[in-house]
Amino acid sequence: MGGNQTWITEVILLGFQVDPALELLLFGLFCLFYTLTLLGNGVILGLICLDARLHSPMYFFLTHLAIVDMSYASNNVPKMLANLVNLKRTISFVPCIMQTFLYLAFAHIECLILVVMSYDRFVAICHPLHYTVIMNWRMCTVLASTSWVFSFLLALVHLILILRLPFCGPHEINHFFCEILSVLKLACADTRLNQVVIFAACVFILVGPLCLVLVSYSRILFAILRIQSGEGRRKAFSTCSSHLCVVGLFFGSAIVMYMAPKSNHPEEQQKILSLFYSLFNPMLNPLIYSLRNTEVKGALRRVLYRQRHI
C-alpha cells in the first residue's frame, strides 16, 4: 500500500438519491412496511405459542422463519429509515461490518430454513404414515440448530475475508445499508478471492437449496395428484403453494442480485432488488402464510374468541 493511504473510520451511505419530498414519502412507506413486518411476524409467533394445535414441526420451522425475518429487517431497515430523514448519513466502519455480517448470516439462515420447510412438507405429503417418526422433535431441533450454526459460520468466513483487506477509500457506499458487494468497493486491494467465495457461497446456499426445494415439490405435486379426496388435495396444495410463493420471492431476488451479470443491473436497480429480500419478503411472509393457511386463520379466530370471553 502507498504511504498516503488512510484507513476508513466511517462511511457515508448514499441510500436513495431522490428529491427531499420523495424521501419523506419513502420514509413513511418503508416505516409502514417495517411496522407490518414486525407486527405480522409477531402475530405468527404469538399464535404458534398460544395455540396448541399449531405445535407441529411445520409451525416450529415457521417460528424460526418469523424470527429470522424480524431480525433480518431490523438489521437493515432502521438505519435506512434514519438516513431518509437525516442530512448526516454516516455509519462507523465497525458497525457497518457488523451489519454486513448479520445480513449474510440471516440471509443464509432463511435459505436453509426454507429448504427444511420444503423437506417437512415432502415427508408430510409423500410419507404421511412415517411423518411423526421421521420429523420427530429431536430431528426438528437438529435441523433448525444446524441451519443457524452453519449460517453464522459461513457468514464468519465472509467476515474474516473482509477484515483481511485494507480499507482506504472511497468513503461512500452507494446503497442504503452495508451490503457486502458495496463494502468490497471500499477496499484498496485485490478482492477477487472475496468475489470467488461469494459466488461459491451463492451456488452452495442459493442454487443448491433451490434445486432441493424444486425436487421436493415435484415429488409433492405427483403425490397431491394421487390424493383421492378433493378436500385433501386442496388443503395440501394450499399449504405448499404458500411455501412456494415465499421461496420464489426470496430465491428469485437473491439469485438475480448475486449471480446475474452485474452489467445488467445498475446500482439503483440493485438497491430495488435488495429491498425485496430486506423488507418486502419479511413483510409478505406472514401475510402469505396467514391468508392462505386455514389453520393459522383458525388459530387467530380462537385466540380472539378467548380474548373476548375473558
The pLDDT value given to residue 159: 95
DSSP 56: S
- 16 pLDDT higher than 70: yes
- 92 pLDDT higher than 70: yes
pLDDT digits (tens, 9 = 90+) for 263-310: 555 667 778 778 877 888 888 888 777 766 777 777 777 777 776 666
The pLDDT value given to residue 52: 81
pLDDT digits (tens, 9 = 90+) for 226-272: 766 666 667 666 667 777 777 877 888 788 878 776 655 566 777 87
- Residue (of 96, 95, 105) closest to 154 by Cα position: 105
Contact of 8 with 169, CB cutoff 8 Å: yes
The pLDDT value given to residue 3: 40
The pLDDT value given to residue 32: 94
pLDDT digits (tens, 9 = 90+) for 58-71: 889 999 999 999 99
As a whole number of angstroms, the distance between CA 263 and CA 113 comes to 31
pLDDT digits (tens, 9 = 90+) for 172-197: 888 888 889 889 988 888 889 999 99
Packing angle, helices 20-50 and 57-85, rounded to 10: 160
| pLDDT tier for residue 99 given thresholds of 50, 70 and 90 | very high
As a whole number of angstroms, the distance between CA 248 and CA 246 comes to 6
Query: Rounded mean pLDDT of 133-162?
Result: 95
- In the predicted model, what is the mean pLDDT of the chain? 84
The pLDDT value given to residue 218: 85
Query: Rounded mean pLDDT of 3-17?
Result: 71
Domains (range + CATH), the chain: 10-308 (1.20.1070.10)
**35: its cell numbers:** 411496522
Query: Rounded mean pLDDT of 204-223?
Result: 86
The pLDDT value given to residue 235: 65
